[in-house]
Structure 1
């Protein structure tokens, strides 16, 4: 796979970084050891500025180019997942119940590889801001960094990120202009009726029957309220009620994940969800409390930046290995907040065969790291030539 020769020479070093990170996963905003490891590497590389403690454990590093110019932002997420690892690898997680099951260890490694190259060569104008972000999986660290003024503080003009893609051919890139990943909202509904003996339902107000009716009716939102050409998903993922076969419970609850691409559709989904739940609550004689968590917005690439990023990827891996109009998907990403704050683009990069994201047998393919690092480095050199 064609990569920058200098970065190819870092391959074994990058593998060691990645496997160290994989063995020491941290969750959400508590990525302090990960940040310390990153900072130690950055100091070895001789970057010009290091700013710590952003969004609790995030790091921003600055590398100055040869000539004056704008600042381009490159982002890598750092956090792991609360999963028990099943890879059996020598570098498997040393922390029970935590593992890098989404490849953020690889994302950090790719950005570190690019940082080492850029600090050494500096064949670009302006500055590079390296954004090492905590809490992508839970907590919205991207939003926190934006709210803490990262884009303005470091005068970032454009921002780019990569996510690994197992199951996609090694080194193949995918992106698209416009919406690329969906918004994600989470609804939790607690229903209260009147419990009692299963043999005398006439003396009870059954919350189980109400929940069944609500869940069935919610599915009509997609088929009868959302335009057929607007993609959206509502998946009820939890239903909990009852303790015994002969007891009608007092309460029941259910949860749903709700995803879409357009703000108007997102608002419609919320409106209809509330109307259906409350309408059914009235019909069944129960009460319903809805906790509707407004989550990450859709990840929307800026057209010019997506086209540019695709052209850079083609310069690294060849045009045949780049899909610049890939289908969008219903997963979500808090890089969306950075794209709301600045023009930019997000890309997927194939890592070849292997377990899927968030699977306990997942492990990032170390052969992909020099490819991603080369993409980041070429992106800077082509965006801001010296």
Structure 2
């Protein structure tokens, strides 16, 4: 099948090409240039209508909840939600039931992904059995079963010795350890950032050291083992500084930041409601500024959503009872474009890179770029028209504090291997 995308423009690796056409054939990019007026016959023509054509977005941190929690999300609804946001490759976390801590379970999940997903999903395996034990998984068999990387995201690894042994085994297999960093002994029942707002709302706070102290532990272990150590959802200025220094010291560490931590702070929490509860929590203004500076100076490598759906009943209550997490797949690009490109804080090229090529590069993924001969994983965005984020999501869940915001950057089309995975209005 031959497809032509016409009347769009492309931003990639610092280059802006106006009115570029994309020629797709048999699922791969055949040409980039101007083909509309040539004597060529296409089976399908997509009019980008002056929209932005980018590589399909890449998200290394999502929760699709299947198996075990299908009332929150499924592989089908999660992948459709990601496609609506312009994502074509995502990496799904293992806090499932059963946990993919063995080859059989991981194979079953991958079979379900192959059957139900509209995009490319790479599945994480856990570091320890059932996420909360001291017993390490069989890393080698899980690698053979196509585990993307190893993580205990959602709980973190509490024992340094366990993390050290996990890093040694992952390094031996040239696999990444991806860490949710949280010292549970420092939590003290906290539900939001510890500060003036938590005191005002009468809610127990979460110290910044809960996150940064475990990162400090882990980077030293990463130095000892030589593993690729990736930090999830960095949120504090202390964490940024630890990672910055680790990189200067030659330690193999990478990290991600989420749009909500870049855009909001604890000062934006106006009431005790579950939609403001996420882990790590919304931090203070100086933390937010450190995250922005960390992206700009290369300390922070990429942007990830931490898409974490929960049902309305769970989230429509006090933060004391509500679970942690907000959705993000459908709104991430819109929020980043509106809050940072439109305000001239980041360039469009930077945002596209942080959401496509950068995550692909740090995990050696074959995606995140528009090049002849590569898979036609493509997103097209409308940067001109403003829309309101409404409580109408493709995701099964709607737990986000961004409902009601006016944004630009709505997804018009998402293609995976040249096939439409999302089309506005369909």
TM-score by length of structure 2 reads 0.24
Greater fraction helix: 1
Q: Which has the larger radius of gyration?
A: 1
Q: Which has the higher contact order (CA 8 A, sep 6+)?
A: 1
Greater fraction strand: 1
